[in-house]
Amino acid sequence: MKHILMGEYDVIVIGGGHAGCEAALSAARMGMSTLMFSMNLEAIAMMPCNPSIGGTGKGHLVREIDALGGEMGRNIDKSFIQVKMLNTAKGPAVHSLRAQADKNRYHIEMKKTLEHTPNLDIRQGEVTDILVEDGKVTGVVTRTHTVYKAKAVILCTGTFLRGKIFIGDSAFMSGPNGLAPSVELAENLKAKGMNMRRFKTGTPARCLGQSLDYSKMIEQRGDEIPVPFSFMDDEIGENKGLCWLSYTNEETHKVIRANFHRSALFGGQIEGIGPRYCPSIEDKVNRFKDKERHQLFVEPEGLETDEMYIQGMSSSLPEDVQRDFYKTIPGLENLRIVRPAYAIEYDCIDPLDLKPSLEYKGLEGLFCAGQFNGSSGYEEAACQGLMAGINAVLKIKGENPFILGRDEAYIGVLIDDLVTKGTNEPYRIMTSRAEYRLLLRQDNADQRLTEKSYKLGLATKERYDRYLKKKEAVEAEMERLKNKSLGAADLKDFLLSRGTTEVEGRTTFMELLKRPQISYADLKEIDDETRPELSYHEITQLEVEIKYEGYIKKQLQQIERYKKLEEKRLDEDLDYESIDGLRLEARQKLSKIRPSSIGQASRISGVSPADINVLMVYLEKKRREKSK
């Protein structure tokens, strides 16, 4: 059938999920004519699983997305139900903000933003193929045989590619949340030589809140003063709802164990690999036989619906078994399920086939982001979409790609992990993956990234000026605290009231603030000057930088050593087979991944320290030959 040319764009984004939205917005905001396709416009920024944004590690990503000029942070600030800072009993490096979202409101606000963004068109339609000429992407073809030309294409297909849902022994082709799967595109990508794999994820049942007995559950309140995700927001109002905590018990586990044979997970129907850090309830009961109970959270899906999300209870068991085991849980005895739990299997790419820019090595101009790259989670998807959008624009302009290092952002850690180490299961960001996490905190994401983004043309002047104002305010107040001091006698009562030891002689306010028992707010009691009115973001960064000054200096020294390895560049077309001394496995891995530096090479699984020494000797030999 003849194809009809419908339009020409600089960038085309396939998919309207969290990766697709950020990819489309970043490309359009950087001045490129952009078209974003979604299988269904009602699925834009859809939350088919947990209706929340942020959490441990993930909150860092959202702040970094925001600092770069992305939309996720601003959008959740508009649509949150409840906000809570996690890990506050630990150090500031692992503090993580989490917000329960009104999922419908989140979709509405994001769709509205897309609709009102200059240079951006959104269209409902299914892309079935990618056009290629001379190894370069030139456009896309849709289900209705229309063609749209493009200089770059970004794949953000989520879990739609050959999506298959499992509920007990029932299995059927479907995308998430009952939407249609994308089968033809998956087949055409495979035909073009893409190395496709099967991953799997799952989601728990949704039930009606009116059918629950909250008196048997533990109330989970948000923070008294909700903290915003976006650096553009100083305050976001009050929390609007509650979450609830309950636990499984031996009766729950008994029902599940008696029906292991009916689970799609154990029955062999599912071939895809699931996320290790988000197992189904039957997997938990099977793996952790010594545990008497598992916790679950009951969370609202929105303010205009009575649906509740049962977090921690995803399952592929049949509907009758789901009904039976949910009803053994305190508070859920009379629950009425409106959407059953299910597992979903889908196609994704091996991320080792991607460059650090997220461009696919096999086709010039084709970029990939989100769950298609083997990651899991809305936040992981969104940050990849943002980076793919930026790099697609830079590719079109003929400029160098924008690559964030592991010392610069959690985004840099995530992408480097994917394209250097690969993943055999859906990848999830965690604070433990970052070597320099004391520097990669939530509070300083704007200090690390906003100036870079402004130079790229993504962060707005308003955002850049706000970043400068915060930077100047923190530096000025730090200088004031360094120069202001009081004598021992004047400080005696204050220090005793805070449960900390007395001082000898005059002591600066900066030295006082280094003590764990004293906060910046406490200093107001002894500060006779008119203190500047600092925002939450400014106070947080000020306190952390003063209290952890010594640790931060040590980490900066570590980064200097790390950078020396990153600065030793490796040619993209280097013939590793010709380098004597490299082990066979190292040659194979280096030839496949083609690292850009000695630093990246050292992080490849299967490349030993001895192999790195061989590469260093090789580079030094080449340097000497060149100098002669």
| 183-230 tens-digit pLDDT | 999 999 999 999 999 999 999 999 999 999 999 999 999 999 999 999
The rounded percent of the chain whose pLDDT value lies above 90 is 85
Question: CA of 289: how far to CAs of 217, 315, 424, in Å?
Answer: 24, 17, 25
How far apart, in whole angstroms, are the C-alpha atoms of residue 153 and residue 134? 15
| 493-513 tens-digit pLDDT | 999 999 999 999 999 999 999
Please, which pLDDT band fits residue 374 given cuts at 50, 70 and 90? very high
Tokens 């490096």, located at residue: 93
Q: Which residue has the higher pLDDT, 215 or 275?
A: 215
Average pLDDT over residues 459-463: 97
Would the pTM count as exceeding 0.85? yes
The pLDDT, as a whole number, for residue 626 is 81
- As annotated, the residues of the chain forming the CATH 1.10.150.570 domain(s) are 568-627
Token duo for residue 580? 């004597």
| HSE, side-chain direction, 13 A CA sphere, residue 621 | 8
Token duo for residue 312? 């921690």
Q: How many CB atoms lie within 10 A of CB 320?
A: 11
How far apart, in whole angstroms, are the C-alpha atoms of residue 329 and residue 426? 29
The pLDDT, as a whole number, for residue 153 is 98
Please, which pLDDT band fits residue 7 given cuts at 50, 70 and 90? very high
How far apart, in whole angstroms, are the C-alpha atoms of residue 64 and residue 47? 20
Cα-Cα-Cα-Cα torsion 611, 612, 618, 623, nearest 10 degrees, comes to: 180
- As annotated, the residues of the chain forming the CATH 1.10.10.1800 domain(s) are 470-554
Strands 366-368 and 337-339: unpaired
| 51-74 tens-digit pLDDT | 999 999 999 999 999 999 999 999
Find, among 146, 179, 161, 109, the residue nearest to 35 by Cα.
Answer: 146
HEC readout, 587-625? HHHHHHHCCCEHHHHHCCCCCCHHHHHHHHHHHHHHHHH
Does residue 300 contact residue 241 with C-beta atoms inside 8 Å? yes
How far apart, in whole angstroms, are the C-alpha atoms of residue 226 and residue 229? 10
Helix (H/G/I), strand (E/B), else coil: 425: coil
- As annotated, the residues of the chain forming the CATH 2.40.30.260 domain(s) are 206-344
Residues counted in the chain:
628
Q: Which fold has domain 206-344?
A: Elongation Factor Tu (Ef-tu); domain 3 (2.40.30)
Instruction: Tell which CATH classification among 2.30.40.10, 1.10.760.10, 1.10.150.570, 3.40.50.300 matches the domain 568-627.
Output: 1.10.150.570
pLDDT at 613 over 80: yes
The pLDDT, as a whole number, for residue 93 is 79
| 542-559 tens-digit pLDDT | 999 999 999 899 999 988
Find, among 482, 451, 467, 453, the residue nearest to 545 by Cα.
Answer: 482
Domain 470-554 sits in CATH at 1.10.10.1800
Q: How many CB atoms lie within 10 A of CB 461?
A: 8
